[in-house]
Amino acid sequence: MTRTIRARIHETAVKRVTRIYAATLADIFAETLQNSRRAGAARVRITVSAPAARPDDIAATTGETPLTVTVSDDGAGIADPAVLLSFGQNGWDDALVRREDAAGFGFASLARRNCTVSSRPRSPDGEVSPGWQVELEPAHFLGDADADVHADDEAPYPWGTAISFEATETIAAIRNAAETAARHYPLPVMFEDRTQDAAAASEQLPRQAFLDGAVHAEPWRGLVFGVFKSRHDGYRDPDLNFFGLTLTVGLPTVETVHGATWSVLADVDDCPELELVLPARKEAVENAFLTEMREAARLAVYRAMAADPSPRPVFEDWSRAREAGIDIAPPPAVLRPWRPGFADCNDWYEAGKLSDAGRDGLVMDCDPEPPDAQALWRAAERDGIASRLFEADRRLEGYDWYDGVDRATAVSILASGDGEWLWIDDWPLPERAASRADRLPSRPAAIRIELSVRTAAGRCRTIGIPADVAFAGEAWSHIDDTLPLVTRDSALQPHELAALLRAGFFSPSDDVEADSWETQKERFDEQALHLATRLLLSDDEACRQSIAEAVRRELVWYAPRDRTVDIRIRRPDVTVTLGAAAEAAP
């Protein structure tokens, strides 16, 4: 047996109408202003007043007593008040419904608030029509009660509509919501604050064209795209303006290579193909048109970039633009100089100036751990090849000049004791069980850092760089477990080695129970200098410096300024001798 079914709205759906909107001021202003515009209004007025019976001792800004907000316009008015509660039905003409997909649900944004509607429809013959008024409560929206419509001689004259509702928000919050709704609205919106003075003058709320500041604009299928260069915006900021209602539809942002960021906004003119999620229109329907719209927006950005003197496109965007017949100038053949990484993610070098890689440049197509990177950088500076090293930039892959630069694909470190070269991982290290005083690695005769290089032609070669310092053991080790290797003939000073240890190994803890960053750094620096002094000078010198540093940090504040203090320690005893006070200067 075959039977047919057809879509319908069950009558109980009206019981949920109060949940279609959140009933926020933003929702209400957005919907009422849209209706005013569709009704052909020339301007809209928002008036805020205090209830007549309100106690005088409650300030209007506290929000403790509901204020009355009235949105009025000089549009065509509402001929049939029944349309207010006929959800899904509206009185707009077919052409407007086709252009804007008017759903007939906007008035439901007031369903949770008591409201009064007063309207006088425009007469086709130019005569003044009688006005009417209806007061609505949530029960009327839910279909639980009939609403009485009365004649209203005070309805907007000669035609128009006024909607009043209760607001428990403060006057500041009401004004802020009104300004947001009016900012990109195509009509002027007047605001009147009559909470303190019933005769207060009205003022026009600020307006700004949605595409104001665009460097390029072009129409597309009922929209207007505006392209912006280095526009400061936030995550998920609105990028589409539907006659003052702004929302995010995911229009593209185009990053460049060491240059501007390009973005695009869209302003709706007459675009029936654009489908927004009803009834609130806070997001777009994901369909084929939206996909085409995003691609068209990207091409608009490309055309703007093509007119820019320094567009610096990523290779992918440059290629996509060429496929679309848009010729964008490629970025200049310059790269950012390579600098070694730090163990502390909050520490970094200032970015080097872009420069030409030249014929002998090397792109660091590898990411050595901070200790190895610090050792490589010191060796490269000493060997005079640091200026040949450049950062890899995946955005440039595909450009002939970038693909033609040789790549350093790996970093390896070797050390030699008595003529035999060993990988640093195979260098004989002290046993972990040994006391800290004995845990110093032997000093090698020589260290060599090797860069594995792949040429543009695909051949492989190795560049050897003599070094005087490297780090054995695990990266990201605690300072107690670090094992620096310094060649026997190195002129490296303890403070220089301590600085390398900090750059390569200091990674502060952000645990809630950890000391501050400054305290952790001070402790690390003390331990690093102690280790460096032991390795490069002697245990005795390291001990002497550590004790002196501890005294400077903890005890020097107790010493009188005009007296000598001698401290003698013979564990467990500590003897302190104070010298005579210095005589005052004549």
The DSSP secondary-structure symbol of 507 reads -
Residues 223 and 319 in one domain: yes
Residues 446 and 391 in one domain: yes
Asked if residue 6 is part of any domain, the answer here is no
Question: For position 176, what pLDDT does the model report?
Answer: 97
Distance, in Å, from the CA atom of 405 to the CA atom of 129, rounded to the nearest integer, reads 81
Residues 314 and 185 in one domain: no
Tally of structural domains, the chain: 3
Residues 305 and 340 in one domain: no
374, 344 Cβ separation under 8 angstroms: no
Asked if residue 381 is part of any domain, the answer here is yes
Asked if residue 567 is part of any domain, the answer here is no
Distance, in Å, from the CA atom of 133 to the CA atom of 352, rounded to the nearest integer, reads 71
3-state class of 400 per DSSP? helix
Residues 49 and 77 in one domain: yes
Phi, psi of 530 (to 5 degrees): -60, -45
Question: For position 584, what pLDDT does the model report?
Answer: 43
Residues 292 and 358 in one domain: no
Residues 469 and 387 in one domain: yes
- Beta strands of 222-367 (E only): which ranges? 223-229, 240-242, 245-247, 253-254, 262-268, 334-335, 355-356, 362-364
Residues 500 and 537 in one domain: yes
Question: For position 69, what pLDDT does the model report?
Answer: 96
Residues 247 and 382 in one domain: no
Asked if residue 19 is part of any domain, the answer here is yes
Residues 262 and 369 in one domain: no
Measure the N-to-C terminal CA separation of the chain; round to a whole number of Å: 123
Question: For position 436, what pLDDT does the model report?
Answer: 52
Distance, in Å, from the CA atom of 354 to the CA atom of 334, rounded to the nearest integer, reads 6
Alpha helices in 324-430 (DSSP H): 370-383, 400-403
Asked if residue 72 is part of any domain, the answer here is yes
Residues 356 and 442 in one domain: yes
Asked if residue 582 is part of any domain, the answer here is no
Tokens found for residue 62:
């506290």
The DSSP secondary-structure symbol of 149 reads E
Among 176, 204, 232, give the residue marking a domain's end. 204
Distance, in Å, from the CA atom of 271 to the CA atom of 220, rounded to the nearest integer, reads 9
526, 549 Cβ separation under 8 angstroms: yes
Tokens found for residue 220:
């597309």
Asked if residue 579 is part of any domain, the answer here is no
Question: For position 435, what pLDDT does the model report?
Answer: 52
Q: How many CA atoms lie within 13 A of 493 on its CB side?
A: 2
Phi, psi of 541 (to 5 degrees): -65, -40
For the sheet with 189-194, list strands across it: 149-151, 132-136, 115-120, 160-167, 67-73, 44-49, 189-194, 203-204
CA dihedral 272, 275, 277, 281 (to 10 degrees): -50
Distance, in Å, from the CA atom of 56 to the CA atom of 352, rounded to the nearest integer, reads 66
Domain of residue 241, residue span: 216-323
**Closest to 258 (Cα-Cα) out of 456, 155, 396, 166:** 396
Q: Which residues contact 498 (CB under 8 A, 6 or more apart)?
A: 525, 528, 529, 531, 532
Residues 153 and 240 in one domain: no
Among 180, 204, 228, give the residue marking a domain's end. 204
Q: Which residues contact 482 (CB under 8 A, 6 or more apart)?
A: 371, 471, 473, 501, 505, 531
537, 495 Cβ separation under 8 angstroms: no
Give me the CATH number covering residue 112: 3.30.565.10
Paired strand residues for 250: none
Asked if residue 575 is part of any domain, the answer here is no
Q: Which residues of the chain have pLDDT under 70?
A: 9-10, 52-64, 88-89, 91, 103-104, 431-439, 583-586
Distance, in Å, from the CA atom of 92 to the CA atom of 100, rounded to the nearest integer, reads 10
Q: What is the pTM of this model?
A: 0.82
Distance, in Å, from the CA atom of 367 to the CA atom of 248, rounded to the nearest integer, reads 37
